[in-house]
Amino acid sequence: MASQLPIDLRSDTITRPSPEMRRAMADAEVGDDVFADDPTVNRLQESVADLLDKEAALLVPSGTMGNEVALRTLTEPGDEIIAHRTSHIYLYEGGAPAALCGCSLQLVDGERGIFDGATVRGALRMIDSHCPVTKLVCVENTANRGGGSVWPLEKIAGVRRVADEHGLRTHLDGARLMNACVASGLGPGDYTRYFDTVSICFSKGLGAPIGSALAGSRERIARAHRFRKMFGGGMRQAGIIAAGALYAIEHNIPRLAEDHANANYLAEALAEIDGLVIDPATVETNLVFFEVSRAWGTAEELCGALHEEGIWMLADSGQRVRAVTHLDVSREQVKSAIEIIARVMRLGR
C-alpha cells in the first residue's frame, strides 16, 4: 500500500503525541508549579536530574528558554560566551544572548559544528579593561547545522580541561542529546559530567508536544528558577506538559535508533540520484543534509517542487537541503520519498 502523503521531513519538531502519550497527559495529576506543588512536574524534574546525572532539573517551555536561562544563570551582563558559529544559541534564538543575558558571543570554527580545547584557548580574551570577560563555553550535541554530528568524548573532555584551566563555566545544549547517546552507545552521564548545566528537549525526536528541561547543581537550578520567571517561563498546572515529557523519556529513547537507520537509508539512496551530492558516512543520527547541483537549480526550487509532490523538506541555504527522520515517518514513507525525489530530479524543474 502506498505511503500516505504528505511525508513531512522538515524537522523532528513536527511529531505529534501518540494516543498513549495523550492519555498520560489527560490523566496527569496537577498542581501549581510556580508554587512547586505540581506532583507530575516534580516527578519529571527528578527523573531528568537522574537521567542526566545532575542534582536537580527545571522544566521550561522550550529549548531556547532552557539555553537562555542557563546562559543567564552562568554569566553576568558584559561577559562573553564561546560557541560555534553554527550553534543554535547564535543562529536560532533571536539574539537572546545579547537581549536577555547582556552577553556577547565569541564565535569559533570546527568541522561539522565540533571544536576542541585548543580552539577554546585561542578564543580567550586577554584580561584587560578593554575586553569582555570570557565566562562560558557552549557545546551543542548533536550539532544541528553540523548534520546531526555527535561530539567525540575526547573533544568534550579537551574543552572542559581548557575551561577549568581558565575558570570558565560550561553549558551543553543537549536538545538532541539522546540521539547522541543512542548513536554512540554512551550514557547521558558520560557527556553531562563535563558540563555545569545541560538542556534537553522533549519535543524533537522524543515526540512530546512541548517542553524542555535544564539540569545542574541544586545551587545553579535554584538560581535558574529566578531567570525562568524573569523570562516568562513560570507555568501553573504544568503537569499536563510534564506527563508527555515523562512518557517520552520512559518510552521513546531506544526507538531513536529507528530514526537513525531511516536517515542512513535515505542518505544512501540520495547519493545514487544524479544531481544530488551527499556523503552517507556523515549521517550519524537523524539529520540528513545534501546538496543540489547548480545545473538543476537551487535548494529552494527543489523543496518547492517536492512540496507539490507531498514531500516536505527545508532549504537550508542556496544549494543545501535538510531532511529529518522522526517517529512520524516510517521506512515505507522514506522509500516513497526516495522514489518521488528521484522522479523530480529526473524530470527537472
Q: Which CATH superfamily is domain 255-347 in?
A: Aspartate Aminotransferase, domain 1 (3.90.1150.10)
Task: Determine the Cα–Cα distance for residues 156 and 161; give it in Å rounded to an integer.
Answer: 9
* Helical pair 19-26 and 239-251, crossing angle rounded to 10 deg: 140
Task: Determine the Cα–Cα distance for residues 257 and 133; give it in Å rounded to an integer.
Answer: 41
Q: Do residues 44 and 208 touch, judged by C-beta distance below 8 A?
A: no
Domains 19-251 and 255-347 are alike in CATH topology: no
Count of CB atoms situated within 10 Å of the CB of 31: 17
**Domain boundaries along the sequence of the chain:** 19-251, 255-347
Q: Which of 152, 151, 128, 131 is nearest to 141 (CA)?
A: 151
Q: Which residues pair with 287 in a beta bridge?
A: 324
Going residue by residue through the chain (349 aa), what tens digit of pLDDT does each one get? 345 789 999 999 999 999 999 999 999 999 999 999 999 999 999 999 999 999 999 999 999 999 999 999 999 999 999 999 999 999 999 999 999 999 999 999 999 999 999 999 999 998 889 999 999 999 999 999 999 999 999 999 999 999 999 999 999 999 999 999 999 999 999 999 999 999 999 999 999 999 999 999 999 999 999 999 999 999 999 999 999 999 999 999 999 999 999 999 999 999 999 999 999 999 999 999 999 999 999 999 999 999 999 999 999 989 999 999 999 999 999 999 999 999 999 987 6
For the record, the C-alpha cell of 277 comes out as 551530492
Cα 330 to chain centroid distance, Å, stands at: 21
Residue 160 CB contacts under 8 Å (≥ 6 apart), including other chains: 117, 170, 194, 195
For the record, the C-alpha cell of 51 comes out as 537521567
Q: Which residues pair with 213 in a beta bridge?
A: 59, 200
Task: Determine the Cα–Cα distance for residues 109 and 336; give it in Å rounded to an integer.
Answer: 37
**CATH no., domain 19-251:** 3.40.640.10
